[in-house]
Amino acid sequence: MFALVDCNNFYASCERVFRPDLAGKPICVLSNNDGCVISRSDEARALKVPMAAPLFKWEAFFRENGVHVFSGNFPLYGDMSNRVMTILGDFSPEMEVYSIDEIFLYWPDEEAGFDTQELGTAMRTKVMQWTGLPISVGFGPTKALAKIANRIARRFPQLDNVYAIDSEEKRLKALKWMPIAEVWGIGRKHAKRLQREGIVKAYDFTQLTDYWVRKNMAVIGLRLKHDLEGKPTLQIDDIQQKRNIAITRSFDVNYTELEQLKERITSFAVACAEKLRQQQSDCSSVMVFIHTNWYNDSRPQYSQSIVVRLPFPTNSGIEIAKFAVQGLEQIFQPGYFYKKAGVIVHELTPTSQRQMALFENSDPRHDSLMRSVDRINRHFGQQKVRLASQDQKRIWKMRQEHLSKRYTTNIAEIMTIKA
């Protein structure tokens, strides 16, 4: 038996934990730089606020309808996530953290003879009591079916946020209800193709032949089909594996000089390298893009990108920044007012499986150097140690005009209670 536990409207719920006065009121949480909506409370959903709604277009609506807006407080959300995952780990012999707000739990056959409703309710009660966060629990004989069960638990209030697909009748009923485009692992591209073939529901997908699925969707699609049929074959890494890491930002002012953009691209590349090291990966290609302000019709527009193939896989900030700047120099055009730029690292491979080239390789001294830089920055604060080509006086600070306190990760911002 598997269970997929999902924190309901996670970011918005985290904000409400420390603001009980917002119970029953609409809440929206914004992305980096207060760009667009990335989490909505049920009350905000009822007001028809869409995901990815840009703040500058919806700000007046939020004021008129009493929607409480928060900047993304990711240190708080990460800490609350760790607390939830630690609590849930006590309920199962095995667990896989799928995302910041989702976790798979697993029980082998000899330990799966429990009442799913009772166990799911116990999970919800303990998590709510210890963290104040609401969760939904879906049980199933495979991960894909547990995911669908979770969706059903969340969709129908009468189920009290707990549902189990524990019979063939329930499996077929769930598959006939679930739209193919919403099935875990299908993706937008495959969904469109399947819909053109008349595959509307998850049940229709399971009626396809293994040969057709393997031919058109490769082995991952075939594993998903078997999972939906009740045969546990799908591994979470098959879907979760990251294909790239991106750091992009809109500038607070327009940049016109190459040197200005070089500093920004260097900082973005260094940040990408840090994320690579966190997940113990290397990259073999770097994409750099720049563009002007598309919303300003009074100035000439320019947009360009380039992919730079690296001569060797690396996660060194020094090396990735060097190649990213080389790419920037090839696409930069003078005479434009640049508003946004970014660096995306592609072709990620595990650092432990790094392949050595015959003539040129990553400098081996960088491994220990980068570890030391990461250690110092973790201890003393982000960006304390930088490359000389980065602006030493500039603190990379996002626009966060609606930021709540870091209640659980900063002692200076801990909650105060007046008794």
Residue that the structure tokens 């032949």 belong to: 209
Mean pLDDT for the stretch of residues 113-118: 90
Predicted confidence at residue 12, as pLDDT, reads: 94
Q: In whole angstroms, what is the distance from residue 173 CA to residue 154 CA?
A: 16
Helices (H), ranges, 305-389: 317-331, 365-380
- Check residue 397 and give its pLDDT: 55
Question: Is residue 237 predicted with pLDDT exceeding 80?
Answer: no
Q: Where are the alpha helices (DSSP H) in 132-257?
A: 143-155, 168-177, 187-196, 202-206, 210-228, 237-240
Residue type, 388: A
Q: What is d(CA 136, CA 147) in angstroms, rounded to the nearest whole number? A: 11
C-alpha–C-alpha distance, residues 342 and 223, integer Å: 35
So what's the pLDDT on residue 103? 92
What pLDDT sits at residue 382?
63
CA 34, distance to chain mean position in Å, is 17
| Residue found under tokens 């969709």 | 155
pLDDT at 298: 86
On average, the pLDDT of the chain sits at 88
Higher pLDDT, 64 or 247: 64
Does residue 248 carry a pLDDT above 90? no
pLDDT over threshold 70, residue 235: no
Residue 30: phi, psi to the nearest 5? -100, 160
CA 211 remoteness from chain centre: 33
Domains present along the chain, CATH in parentheses: 1-114+121-134 (3.40.1170.60), 245-380 (3.30.1490.100)
The answer on pLDDT for 101 being more than 70 is: yes
Q: How confident is the model at residue 374 (pLDDT cuts 50, 70, 90)?
A: confident
Residue pLDDT, tens place only, 278-314: 888 899 999 999 999 887 888 899 999 999 999 899 9
Q: What is the pLDDT of residues 122-168, one digit of tens each?
A: 999 999 999 999 999 999 999 999 999 999 999 998 999 999 999 99
Q: Are 228 and 183 in contact (CB under 8 A)?
A: yes
Strands 349-350 and 135-140, bridge-based pairing: unpaired
Mean pLDDT confidence for 65-94:
91
Question: Which class for 156: exposed (0-12), middle (13-18), buried (19 or more C-beta within 10 A)?
Answer: exposed
pLDDT above 90: percentage of residues in the chain: 60
What is the reported pLDDT for 212? 93
* Tens-place pLDDT, residues 319-351: 999 999 999 999 999 999 999 999 999 888 888
φ, ψ for residue 2 (rounded to 5)? -110, 155
Q: What is the CA radius of gyration of the chain?
A: 24
Task: Supply the pLDDT for residue 402.
Answer: 84
The predicted-structure confidence for 167-200, as pLDDT tens digits, reads as follows: 999 999 999 999 999 998 888 889 999 999 999 9
* Residue 239 in this model has a pLDDT that exceeds 50: no
